[in-house]
Amino acid sequence: MGKRIAAVAVLFCIAVGLVVFTAMDYLRSNPPTLNLAAGHRPGQPVDLTLQTVGTIGFGTHPSWVSYLTRSPDGKWVHTTLWDVPAHTLVHVTIFQYDTGGPLRNQFLGHVLGTVGGTMTLNGKTVSLIDSNAGNGVAHTFTIPTLGIDVPLAANSSTSKNLCGAAPCTPNYVHNVITFSFMSPGVGQYPWQCFLPCGLGYLYGNGGPMQSIGYMDGFMKVVS
């Protein structure tokens, strides 16, 4: 009887240890949150700067496609988690370094939910990208609960100056997309890319498409 109790106790300790290890591993691997609300003055806009890359080039999944976010001190951080102030104009700049192609759903080529229903693509104001023309679309920036969708124009796959690993620098071929939107009230708002770009996964919807820090994340709106 004593041996059985001891065995159960050992197994219990092992189980607890595995739970703790799993939790700690999750905490270690969870990307950081960038606080864009720190020091914000009411009535002032905030800037959110991102880049999209075809290959992250480091970490657990170096071949995965990914977003990166520029921190307030100018460093590129591998994260898709941000804090922004409530009821504030958010100016977004995205440096898009990836290739792409035609959309499976042409609806995603429309710019939705931004100020004026438009974005600028390399300085030109547009409200739609025809993905069957030119180089198509590489990714989208989409916040479904806010009705925001912005298609990110792709670069040519034949370009000799494509960025191979993040963070990419402006000397590589890229498109610059800018747009603005008003942040809502306090809450957590999931966002993601809606263009299947998980190469090697069923229908392109696995891997980076389902992983925070890569092609989806959360915008936390704070008071």
Secondary structure (H, E, C), 10-41: HHHHHHHHHHHHHHHHHHHHCCCEEECCCCCC
C-alpha closest to that of 214 among 82, 31, 35, 83: 31
The first and second tokens of residue 96, run together, are: 């898009």
Q: Is the domain of 147 the same as that of 57?
A: yes
Whether residues 109 and 194 share a domain: the answer is yes
Range of the domain at 12: 1-30
Q: d(Cα 93, Cα 113) in Å, to the nearest integer?
A: 16
8 Å CB contact between 95 and 50? yes
From the number of C-beta atoms within 10 Å of its C-beta (0-12, 13-18, 19+), residue 205 rates as middle
Say whether both 86 and 192 belong to one domain.
Answer: yes
Mean pLDDT by 10 residues, the chain (223 residues): 42 36 43 95 96 96 97 97 98 98 94 98 98 95 98 96 96 98 98 90 87 97 95
CA distance 204 to 6: 49
Q: Residue 133 maps to which CATH number?
A: 2.60.40.420
Q: Are residues 26 and 83 in the same domain?
A: no
> What is the β-pairing status of strands 187-192 and 216-222?
antiparallel
pLDDT given at position 15: 34
Under 8 Å between Cβ of 99 and 158 = no
Residues 16, 50 within the same domain: no
Residues 170 and 104 in one domain: yes
pLDDT, residue 29, reads: 53
What's the pTM value of the predicted model, to 2 decimals? 0.86
Same domain flag for 77 and 152: yes
CA 49 to chain centre: 11
Same domain (yes/no): 14, 87 = no
Q: Give the residue carrying structure tokens 């959110």.
A: 48
Are 159 and 216 members of one domain? yes
Residues 6+ apart with CB under 8 A from 120: 126, 176, 177, 178, 179
Q: Residue 201 has what pLDDT?
A: 83
Count how many domains the chain has: 2
**Does 127 lie in the same domain as 180?**
yes
Q: Are residues 175 and 116 in the same domain?
A: yes
Q: Are residues 20 and 39 in the same domain?
A: no
CA distances from 157 to 131, 134, 154, 162 (A): 14, 11, 9, 8
